[in-house]
Amino acid sequence: MKTRVFLVSGRNPEHRAQRIEQLLTEQDGHGKITLMGSTEFFSIASVQAQADLFRLDEARKAQGIHVLRLSPGCLCCSSKLVLSTHLARTLRLNQPDVLLLELESQSHPEQVIKLLKEPQWTDWFADITLVEVVA
């Protein structure tokens, strides 16, 4: 079975996080879920907010959601190698049915989609949906 991919894009990290929560709820019961989240929030979050996010990650893991925090940077430019490496490992080891991939505000969604449609990923993805958070 191929993985369904949701790319969550938008300028505001808090609004992206809210949309990710909605998507997680909507995808509940659709198999194994992996969340590859942006670390952009950490650059603006207080220590308490960061601690809350770590607790949230632990709760997600307890629900069976694999959580991976990506290094900062545009996933099609400066962090392309990091994305490819983590993506290959996640698909091979976790074999998620659903992948939620949060793009940082400076990422280029169209370029990330192009990257995910490259030949090495053809056999892995069922479809790729861009979820743009406007707010």
Residues 60-89 have pLDDT tens digits of 888 888 888 787 776 666 667 778 888 999
pLDDT band at 132 (very low <50, low <70, confident <90, very high): very high
- Model confidence at 58, pLDDT cuts 50, 70, 90, reads confident
pLDDT over 80 (residue 93): yes
Angle between helices 109-116 and 80-93 in degrees, nearest 10: 50
The full set of domains in the chain, from first to last, is: 3-132 (3.40.1010)
pTM of the model: 0.86
Considering the chain, what percentage of its residues have pLDDT values greater than 90?
A: 31
What's the residue count for the chain? 135
Three-state secondary structure readout of 13-37: HHHHHHHHHHHHHHHCCCCCEEEEE
